[in-house]
Structure 1
């Protein structure tokens, strides 16, 4: 019975930790996956289940110590909870988990509530631990990477989830998830207007802490346009803003905590603007001969629709190729070919309360189907990444923003940099891009790449380094809306780092400072 014995021993001492997110998404991405496999010219089997195996014996708890400092029922030292509060959803972190690379984890997790905030803060101070603020855990810039050898405790904000409407504002707890907030607002005829791709899994505090930008930012703006006030708690006590339309009396707390990534203290709640729900949504898609033609068409628009997404030729090709085969599809493709955009770039748009024009500069109208389909599935993309991860691929995305005159060269040079690294290091990969989040002066561009490599960790690092250096060379942002974290800090100017660190709270210094 040796096999059964080993099986029992494994489950006595090992814990399976889910690393991927979006496993509850039912959308079937097998058609898209098949297209990508054909591009790689391989057929793969599942090589990973998306879990990390943790040996409980490797991590000692501190239950006795935590009981001394925190109220009963307000903390956990469960190994699964500790691990899940020590990792984000970035590709480097997922890849490390796939290979079970060694990593430090928090000593415990505390769950503050409104009535015990001060005692929780006192407990952290008295314990000698450093705090790491944790909302939904969807961070992709390494904000949960811990300092090795230092005692860290995670502050889970999930119990800070109150929602209170007043007029056209809502005061909401930092641990409130997107769907909870939107459901409450919708029941009163309002919307939050803020819809990141991680909407179902991220929290209001996380949106503020990363200076997040939602998919409907063309109409509603980023989180900085919605926030009215912040209430926070630091090692020195509480800070809050007056709930007023505007105030000129120094530095408001909301300005400090926007993009703070949990380093300045704990956001307890925020007051946000609300918006009337749209009476109707309109959908439209267009095709352009090239990605650059699409960029120019967007640049010259008088007004941007609520959502606008322009895919480059590669992303467009994958989307079209994965749509199955039918006489209707063949007819549609022949129409695009006849109009000269058969190998071009697709733009989809969604607009609240206003129709789209039938004609747009340089674009060929292609109905509403593609835009409607994207809108229905706009929170499902993590499921596509999960399929790739489980079959041995490494997917990743880096985003930036740039001025309109830089955008075409930024796109072309980044694609070239990727293929240069691919050739130099000998792995196989594909890269694609899309534009979204439009501004009068420029836009945000996402570069999504997939690699398959025997040296995945080293090759992923090389690709990310090359792309980030190209962003800097081209005068683009380090990030449009994901924050700096630990991964991007090395690219930031030292004087900016020094300026930003003036507000750092030493109690909230749990993550790696590099």
Structure 2
């Protein structure tokens, strides 16, 4: 089996982990803000052999049908495979699997090689009145991969890992046909060999797939330039009960309600995405990410808004609030020599300007294209940054950002091993409501920490800018108290999510609905909107065989 998976108990692959040994400021920082001692002995997860893995309910008839389609090698029911495919990587998922709270896990994992085999597997599942859950990279944090706890039917996890090829590139149109199981690094390597890029780089890039991005409406770090996955995806092929849905890769069409849009964000409820035709771009001649400082978050957000309304077209516009900026500083390695002197000199300049360094905010802005284009964009942005009181601090911070951008999820596992619960929630809203929403979320999170009687920390960055608004991405952490950690997590997570809704934000900007956010769906899209989705799902999947319970009941 050539398909590789993440570790069963956390993010990423075995042997890769976060360490604070070379970050002297981090342990004191964490001790101060959440009262957790990073130097204490960690509490790693139990050995896999200690897990109480339920017996597979796969019956002989369905096993034989699946084996006839795929061959015995690709019909797998080992405990490890079944546990790996039972969850995504949300904090709730990790707490449950580490506590051996496995409930209803897949009875079998299948690895089809092509669309024809996927159709045959789906036919067999429907004939057996079983449940089929598509699986890409397993990075989901919204509960989109788990089987319903009370599901009595057989559960089949369909792993798309063997469908990992870039099938063709239409160079004249800038379109590529790519199989849905291709992980971010695989598809970028294949595109890059021919001088192209998709330009889609979510935090989960290393361990997430094209099909997963489409099924959850993913956004990437450079979506200001390339668009989110909904903009990038031009056509789809989807295996459904009774046939295969296919749309055409045309730039615009007037053919009634958009079938393509119906599949985007559908989380496996409307079929298995097997292939997509996506926009690709020539790899840019020049790419640079620069760091900037702003006196405070409000002026930084105003600058991002001004950039979005201007002729400037950067690929990244990101600003951290003061709390996240202080966390970023705490994760730096020891500065030596010239870098240390430059840092001290810069701090002296800022103090001379009257900056409150505890309110200072770090921003990253990226540029891509020809050298002439990058130069012009940098000049346009420099003027806007200066008008809002900001300064450029060069390419050093941006280079560090590029190196570390996919490592953040490892920090959550590191903290969990040491008794801290940490997770993320993100939303989007219009510019006029952005800062009031930010204030409300911080207020509600701090109220939740007080309710639990714990010392907590919430921080935020603006990560994607649009003409009318932006995405705010919140990270929260607190020390686990005595009692049920999931119940404690729910108090904080619910407070943050409810604040989104109360302040006219959406329940999620790019992490999807799944089961984690479903209770807020009617507040977000209205009860008739929920009914519309329910009707669509019931028409395509009347037997509720396709990933039941996600988005809507």
Q: TM-score, normalised by structure 1?
A: 0.92
2:459 to 426, 429, 432: 432
Q: Give the secondary-structure state (helix, strand or coil) at the position aligned to 1:475.
A: coil
2:367 to 351, 355, 359: 351
The equivalent of 1:216 in structure 2 is: 222
The equivalent of 1:127 in structure 2 is: 128
The Cα shift of 1:189 comes to 1.0
Q: Give the secondary-structure state (helix, strand or coil) at the position aligned to 2:450.
A: helix
Matches within 5 A, 1:403-442: 403-442=430-469
Taking the aligned partners of 2:449 and 2:52, their CA distance within structure 1 comes to 39
The equivalent of 1:91 in structure 2 is: 91
Taking the aligned partners of 1:461 and 1:208, their CA distance within structure 2 comes to 27
**1:10-55 deviations in Å (ceiling 9; x for gaps):** xxxxxx9722112454664442642323433442320123765554
The equivalent of 1:169 in structure 2 is: 175
Note the aligned Cα RMSD (angstroms).
Answer: 2.1
**1:229-272 deviations in Å (ceiling 9; x for gaps):** 10111012111012333322234542221010110000110111
Cα distance change, pair 315–57 in 1 and its aligned pair in 2 (3 A):
closer
1:469 to 495, 498, 502: 498
Cα distance change, pair 92–52 in 1 and its aligned pair in 2 (3 A):
farther
1:149 to 148, 151, 155: 151
| Mapped pair 1:507 → 2:545 | yes
2:298 to 287, 292, 295: 292
Quick check: 105-114 or 474-483, which moved more? 105-114
Taking the aligned partners of 1:377 and 1:98, their CA distance within structure 2 comes to 26
Matches within 5 A, 1:294-309: 294-301=300-307, 302=310, 303-309=312-318
Cα distance change, pair 367–300 in 1 and its aligned pair in 2 (3 A):
same
CA contact (8 A) 1:132 1:262 kept: yes
Cα distance change, pair 51–270 in 1 and its aligned pair in 2 (3 A):
farther
CA contact (8 A) 1:53 1:100 kept: no
The Cα shift of 1:336 comes to 2.7
Aligned length: 499
Q: TM-score, normalised by structure 2?
A: 0.86
The equivalent of 2:75 in structure 1 is: 75
Taking the aligned partners of 2:92 and 2:486, their CA distance within structure 1 comes to 7
Unmatched runs of 5 consecutive residues or more in structure 2 = 1-5
The Cα shift of 1:390 comes to 1.3
Cα distance change, pair 50–389 in 1 and its aligned pair in 2 (3 A):
farther
Unmatched runs of 5 consecutive residues or more in structure 1 = 1-15
Q: Give the secondary-structure state (helix, strand or coil) at the position aligned to 1:406.
A: helix
CA contact (8 A) 1:229 1:253 kept: no
The equivalent of 2:354 in structure 1 is: 340
The equivalent of 2:409 in structure 1 is: 382
Taking the aligned partners of 1:449 and 1:50, their CA distance within structure 2 comes to 25
| Mapped pair 1:184 → 2:199 | no
Quick check: 390-399 or 251-260, which moved more? 251-260
CA contact (8 A) 1:22 1:380 kept: no
The Cα shift of 1:137 comes to 0.8
Quick check: 384-393 or 262-271, which moved more? 384-393
